[in-house]
């Protein structure tokens, strides 16, 4: 069964030396083996003007094709930075204060989705399975469906689907739902998002739905809506974290920061990740617990992200300021309370940070899943304690984490103390249970399960 993957980003990129390499990242790693094995095409946006529209890969012995949809700067601004990142992203994370609603965003998004659909239609061969990814491509499914009524098509949505009453705030909400209902199968990380989607279709479009099966009847077809929690490449993270190099680097990290207890946070710098509230909670922890001054440090890594969007620039300024304020107020002669790094690291380096942590502080204000949690758990030693926001998809699957409400600053400050003081035996029991769940989630299993369900949809079940 040939596969057409449709995603915003291509799975290969060009190095500075001009060589083509496959990207690092869960989605690429999960889908490329399947694509290479079964043949097919990966359709993605063309981010730079000089990239080929069609590229067979690898050049010497191709086993799949990359098809690019070239975008002008104006289209990229409207479709990607605008509609995807400044409208659908904040809305799906319940952050309506960050909504930037503009007609031109919607218009560019619609046009770019049409071009994606045209590219898919041109590449499509009878019997192919089409798998769309994420919130960049909500109109494309219905457009492909018009051209290929018999195509088997699925969509995985990587962020939360918000409650119906929040989703309906969006002008154009019904158009987005109609676009998505071109699919045969729609996957979310957890049941709660799937239920929200079904309710949106029922209330906003008047569609007939079947619960608890999660079936929407639409234009004479069935659209199945299911939970398919994503995982990480467990084997790779296990191997990396057990390697001598990572173990050595872990020691170096511990020595560099010198604290008795190290609390670690690692996130893309995005307002959904709760970095600012986390820093304030750590500040409150230091205010309330003078006995821990000089003994506990927070190591916060923030990856630069969407730096073109104003609200992200503002967040960076606020985080810089908060780190300066905390260190200015609390630092002692040989103790820095917050070590802050604003940069990207290799996965091996991240593993050494995960292993160096006594406590992982993962407190998004909302997150579809949160893969950093799964990476932390996989790499962690038996000492590692995971503090996890209950407003993440991961929280539904990982009850043994110390769960917190990320909006509750005092609760978070208290959880830091609880985590630091947790007895060894409890730490070990919790992390063992967490490791076992994360091992089962595995991204390869996720891809296989979704594709199996798509194959079943072809048979009509
Ligand atoms: P993201 O919002 O990007 O993903 P997350 O799932 O945590 O969030 O993944 C972040 C990835 O970036 C991790 O693999 C992590 O290793 C990496 N990373 C973080 N900091 C880094 C750094 N400094 N340098 C290099 N890499 C870094 C979206 C949704 C999530 C969902 C995923 C997958 O928002 O909810 O879990 O997709 O579906």
* pLDDT tens string 88-97: 999 999 999 9
Fold (topology level) of 3-231+444-458: Rossmann fold (3.40.50)
Q: According to CATH, where is 3.40.50.2000 located in the chain?
A: 3-231+444-458, 234-440
Which of 234, 370, 374, 375 has most ligand 1 atoms within 8 Å of CB, for mutation? 370
What tens digit of pLDDT does each residue of 275-323 get?
999 999 999 999 999 999 999 999 999 999 989 888 999 999 999 999 9
- The rounded Å distance from CA 455 to ligand 1 centre is 29
- pLDDT averaged over the chain? 96
Q: What is residue 49's predicted lDDT score, i.e. its pLDDT?
A: 78
List the residue whose alpha carbon is closest to atom 37 of ligand 1: 158
CATH number (3.40.50.300, 1.10.10.10, 3.40.50.2000, 2.60.40.10) of 234-440 reads 3.40.50.2000
What average pLDDT does range 71-91 have in this prediction? 96
- Confidence tier at 146 by pLDDT (50, 70, 90): very high
What confidence tier does 123 reach under pLDDT thresholds 50, 70, 90? very high
- If DSSP states are collapsed to H, E and C, what string results for the chain? CCEEEECCCCCEEECCCCCEEECCCHHHHHHHHHHHHHCEEEEEEECCCCCCCEEEECCCCCCEEEEEEECCHHHHHHHHHHHHHHHHHHHHCCCHHHCCCCHHHHHHHHHHHHHHHHHHHHHCCCCCEEEEECCCCCCHHHHHHHHCCCCEEEEECCCCCCCHHHHCCCCCHHHHHHHHCCCCEEEECCHHHHHHHHHHHHHHHCCEEECCCCEEEECCEEEEEEECCCCCCHHHHHHHHHCHHHHHHHHHHHHHHCCCEEEEEEEECCHHHCHHHHHHHHHHHHHHCHHHCCCEEEEEEEECCCCCCHHHHHHHHHHHHHHHHHHHHHCECCECCEEEEECCCCHHHHHHHHHHCCEEEECCCCECCCHHHHHHHHHCCCCCEEEEECCEHHHHHCCCCEEECCCCHHHHHHHHHHHHHCCHHHHHHHHHHHHHHHHHHCHHHHHHHHHHHHHHHHCCC
Ligand 1 pocket check for 370: Cβ under 6 Å: yes
Give the Å distance between the CA of 460 and the centre of ligand 1: 35
Q: What is the pLDDT of residues 390-438, one digit of tens each?
A: 999 999 999 999 999 999 999 999 999 999 999 999 999 999 999 999 9
Q: Whose CA is nearest to atom 9 of ligand 1?
A: 371
Given a cut of 90, is residue 106 above it in pLDDT?
A: yes
């Amino acid at each position: 069964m040939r596969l057409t993957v449709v995603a915003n980003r291509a799975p290969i990129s060009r190095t500075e030396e001009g060589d083509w390499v496959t990207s690092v990242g869960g989605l690429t790693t999960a889908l490329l083996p399947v694509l290479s094995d079964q043949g097919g095409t990966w359709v993605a946006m063309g981010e730079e003007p000089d990239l080929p529209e069609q590229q067979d890969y690898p050049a010497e012995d191709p086993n799949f094709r990359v098809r690019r949809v070239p975008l002008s700067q104006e289209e990229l601004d409207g479709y990607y930075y605008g509609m995807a990142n400044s409208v659908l992203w904040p809305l799906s994370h319940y952050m309506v204060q960050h909504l930037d609603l503009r007609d031109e965003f919607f218009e560019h998004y619609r046009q770019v989705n049409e071009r994606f659909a045209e590219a898919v239609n041109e590449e499509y061969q009878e019997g192919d399975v089409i798998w769309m990814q994420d919130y960049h491509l909500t109109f494309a499914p219905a457009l492909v469906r018009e051209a290929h009524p018999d195509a088997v098509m699925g969509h995985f949505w990587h962020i939360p689907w918000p409650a119906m009453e929040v989703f309906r705030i969006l002008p154009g909400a019904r158009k987005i739902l109609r676009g998505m209902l071109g699919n045969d199968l729609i996957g979310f990380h957890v049941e709660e998002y799937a239920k929200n989607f079904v309710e949106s279709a029922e209330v906003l479009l008047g569609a007939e739905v079947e619960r608890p099966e999660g079936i929407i009847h639409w234009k004479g077809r069935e659209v199945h809506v299911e939970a398919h929690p994503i995982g990480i490449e467990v084997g790779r993270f296990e191997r990396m974290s057990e390697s001598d190099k990572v173990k050595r680097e872990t020691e170096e990290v511990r020595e560099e920061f010198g604290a008795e207890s190290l609390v670690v946070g690692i996130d893309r710098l995005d307002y959904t990740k709760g970095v600012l509230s986390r820093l304030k909670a750590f500040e409150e922890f230091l205010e309330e617990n003078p006995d821990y001054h000089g003994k506990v440090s927070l190591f916060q890594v923030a990856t630069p992200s969407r730096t073109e969007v104003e609200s992200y620039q503002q967040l960076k300024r606020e985080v810089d300021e908060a780190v300066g304020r905390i260190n200015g107020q609390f630092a002692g002669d040989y103790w820095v309370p917050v070590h802050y790094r604003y940069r990207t690291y290799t996965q091996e380096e991240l593993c050494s940070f995960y292993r160096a942590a006594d406590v992982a502080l993962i407190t998004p204000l909302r997150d579809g899943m949160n893969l950093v949690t799964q990476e932390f758990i996989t790499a962690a030693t038996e000492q590692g304690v995971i503090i996890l926001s209950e407003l993440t998809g991961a929280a539904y699957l990982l009850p043994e984490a110390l769960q917190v409400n990320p909006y509750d600053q005092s609760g978070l400050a208290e959880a830091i103390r609880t985590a630091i003081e947790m007895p060894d035996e409890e730490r070990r029991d919790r992390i063992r249970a967490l490791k076992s769940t994360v091992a089962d989630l595995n991204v390869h299993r996720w891809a296989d399960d979704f594709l199996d369900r798509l194959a079943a949809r072809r048979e009509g079940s």
